[in-house]
């Protein structure tokens, strides 16, 4: 596996691959790699000739009171994982390399102010800006994103379409622990008690999915789900919301394919999850 730290070198390398008629699969990450990331790398290996993975803890998507400085950075362990999984190139830029005198941001307007955007101001502006830069630097044919960060996935798809990026976004399923907790880099912050309680998020989403299919009103589903989590665990609900699946538009009487979203705090650890729902 080749490690590249400079943008110009990454541009050159990807240009040579494309000239050689290789298809490029790209997996953007912030490191602290786990089974969810590995599933994306494996999908990319199956679909493309060359796999490029980026590790960059993006400072502009973190808020003032968020965990940027504490975000895990086990780079040696991550590199060993990527070598084992057969990644071809690791793009490992510094913040200074990525953001020299930056004055431009990308914003998704209203779609970045719902769900996680309600409490994480400018978070998705930071996400979309770094993803756009990475797409331009790497020039992939396919980019692989997991469904766990479904709002991010939807916004990246929309950005790629709106700005005419020549890349296909590949949507990959959530990877879960045996007890159905969505795998996340933040799970390591949970206490033993919190870790035992955390699967209540998945179980509540499953119950909410059943209520949705039965035609229960949206606000009632959200109210019941919040009560279940806060009554039966130490979790504190940030939000439980239902939106149309592909658009993140508000649910109407004609909506059939939707998605239920949850964000729950266990002490200071914020976990997110989601689940498709139909009626």
| Active site amino acids | 37
For 173-194, give the DSSP string. Answer: PPPB-TT-PBP-GGGGGS-HHH
Query: Which residues in 247-278 are b (16+ Cβ under 10 Å) and which e?
Result: ebeebeeebeebbbbbbbebeebbbbbbbebe
Q: Binding residue per annotation — 146?
A: yes
CA dist., res. 73 & res. 56, Å (int): 9
Q: Is 123 annotated as a binding residue?
A: no
Annotated ligand binding at 95? The verdict is no
> Closest Cα to residue 14, out of 143, 137, 167?
137
The CA distances from residue 131 to 121, 152, 165, 167, 214, in Å, are 18, 10, 11, 12, 39
| Residue 16 marked as a ligand binder | no
35 marked ligand binding residue: yes
159 annotated ligand binder: no
Establish whether 27 is an annotated binding residue.
no
- Residue 148 marked in a binding site: yes
Q: Does 30 count as an annotated binding residue?
A: yes
242 is in an annotated binding site: no
Residue 102: helix, strand or coil by DSSP? coil
Does the annotation list 175 as a binding residue?
A: yes
Rounded CA separation 54/31 (Å)? 8
DSSP letters of 66-84? SSTTTS---HHHHHHHHHH
Is 34 annotated to bind a ligand? Reply is: yes
211 in Cβ contact with 221 (< 8 Å): yes
Determine contact, residues 273/262, Cβ cutoff 8 Å: yes
- Binding-site residue numbers are 30-37, 61, 146-149, 152, 175, 183-186
- Binding-site residue numbers for beta-alanine are 61
- Binding-site residue numbers for ATP are 30-37, 146-149, 175, 183-186
- Binding-site residue numbers for (R)-pantoate are 61, 152
């Amino acid at each position: 596996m080749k490690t590249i730290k400079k943008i110009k070198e990454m541009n050159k390398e990807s240009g040579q691959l494309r000239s050689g008629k290789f298809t490029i699969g790209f997996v953007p990450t912030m490191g602290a790699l786990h089974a969810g990331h590995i599933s994306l790398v494996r999908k990319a290996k199956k679909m493309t000739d060359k796999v490029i993975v980026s590790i960059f803890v993006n400072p502009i998507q973190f808020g003032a009171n968020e965990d940027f400085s504490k975000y895990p950075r086990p780079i040696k362990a991550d590199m060993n994982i990527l070598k084992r999984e057969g990644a071809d190139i690791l793009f490992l830029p510094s913040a200074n390399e990525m953001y020299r005198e930056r004055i431009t941001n990308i914003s998704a307007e209203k779609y970045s102010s719902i769900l996680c955007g309600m409490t994480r101001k400018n978070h998705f502006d930071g996400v979309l800006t770094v993803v756009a830069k990475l797409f331009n630097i790497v020039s992939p044919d396919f980019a692989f994103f997991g469904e766990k960060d479904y709002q991010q996935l939807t916004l990246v798809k929309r950005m790629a379409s709106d700005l005419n990026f020549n890349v296909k976004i590949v949507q990959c399923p959530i990877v879960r622990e045996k007890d159905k907790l969505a795998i996340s880099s933040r799970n390591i912050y949970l206490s033993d008690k919190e870790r035992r309680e955390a699967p209540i998020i998945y179980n509540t989403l499953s119950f909410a999915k059943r209520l949705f299919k039965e035609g229960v009103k949206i606000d009632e589903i959200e109210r019941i789900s919040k009560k279940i989590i806060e009554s039966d665990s130490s979790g504190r609900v940030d939000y439980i919301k239902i939106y149309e699946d592909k658009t993140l538009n508000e649910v109407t009487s004609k909506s059939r394919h939707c998605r239920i979203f949850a964000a729950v705090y266990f002490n200071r650890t914020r976990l997110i999850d989601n689940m498709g729902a139909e009626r």
